[in-house]
């Protein structure tokens, strides 16, 4: 499940960010679609590396925190099981559990070290390398949809509609997967992701036009 999450989120980021990038560049390099495509690839590879490294650091840090908490609780349980029970109760109360229920749970688990530790340690035991790989790979997969048309079309304005169509279709697929995994409305999620993605692309295009007007760089 964690790897599916990493892949879906990575692909979504790649789609939205690169669609925005190539749309903005299309307003500047109207007659140079390959420059837009190559620039998109450069941005995409940098983004994939950044996402992969971010996932690696995030998962690794969480695992290290979990291990630290586990070791501390093991020591605390050996020194004072009563203090471990109090800490469990505090954590249960912080999570919103009613006081009487939290007290009952803490009392029943007071002699069960492994149960207390499993409740206090947040998150699972994800593999940071696998998480980084799936996130980076998904990002690279996502950039293919908005970038590919710029290596085929004769102008950026011809490539742009196809880029938007491919990216929008891919966003709809990603939204469907997210909806299935989370149990929310498929139609609502597709609408949300496609509209926000295309909205970002539209704003990027306007920004590109602004840069072209200010610096007159369309012929570069």
> What are the tens digits of pLDDT across the range 19-68?
888 988 888 888 899 999 999 999 999 999 999 999 899 889 888 887 88
- Provide the pLDDT for residue 7: 82
Question: What does the domain layout of the chain look like in residue ranges?
Answer: 2-54+129-215, 64-120
- Provide the pLDDT for residue 121: 66
The pLDDT tens digits of the residues spanning 124-140 come to: 567 889 889 999 999 99
144 token code pair: 């293919």
- Provide the pLDDT for residue 35: 93
For the whole model, what pTM was predicted? 0.74
Give the alpha-carbon dihedral of 124, 117, 120, 71, to 10 degrees: -90
Cα–Cα nearest to 218, from 25, 39, 43, 41: 25
Using left for φ > 0, alpha for ψ between -120 and 50, and beta otherwise, residue 183 falls in left
Cα–Cα nearest to 194, from 179, 180, 208: 179
The pLDDT tens digits of the residues spanning 176-193 come to: 888 887 788 889 989 988
Q: Is the pLDDT of residue 103 over 90?
A: no
- Provide the pLDDT for residue 181: 78
Q: Is the pLDDT of residue 217 over 70?
A: no
**Cβ 51 vs Cβ 139: under 8 Å:** yes
- Give rounded-to-5 percent helix, strand, coil for the chain: 85, 0, 15
- Mean local confidence (pLDDT), 84-113: 77
Q: Is the pLDDT of residue 6 over 90?
A: no
- Provide the pLDDT for residue 201: 82
């Amino acid at each position: 499940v964690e790897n599916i999450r990493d892949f879906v989120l990575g692909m979504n980021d790649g789609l939205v960010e690169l669609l925005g990038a190539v749309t903005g560049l299309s307003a500047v390099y109207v007659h140079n679609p390959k420059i837009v495509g190559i620039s998109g690839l450069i941005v995409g590879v940098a983004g994939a590396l950044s996402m992969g490294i971010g996932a690696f650091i995030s998962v690794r840090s969480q695992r290290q925190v979990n291990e630290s908490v586990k070791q501390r609780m093991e020591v605390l349980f050996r020194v004072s099981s009563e203090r471990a029970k109090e800490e469990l109760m505090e954590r249960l109360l912080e999570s919103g559990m009613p006081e009487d229920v939290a007290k009952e749970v803490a009392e029943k688990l007071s002699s069960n070290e492994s149960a207390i530790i499993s409740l206090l340690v947040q998150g699972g035991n994800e593999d940071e390398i696998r998480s980084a790989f799936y996130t980076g790979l998904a990002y690279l997969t996502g950039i293919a949809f908005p970038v590919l048309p710029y290596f085929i079309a004769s102008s950026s304005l011809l490539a742009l509609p196809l880029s938007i169509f491919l990216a929008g279709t891919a966003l709809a697929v990603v939204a469907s997967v997210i909806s299935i995994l989370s149990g929310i409305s498929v139609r609502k999620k597709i609408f949300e992701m496609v509209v926000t993605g295309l909205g970002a692309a539209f704003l990027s295009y306007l920004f590109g036009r602004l840069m072209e007007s200010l610096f007159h760089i369309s012929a570069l």
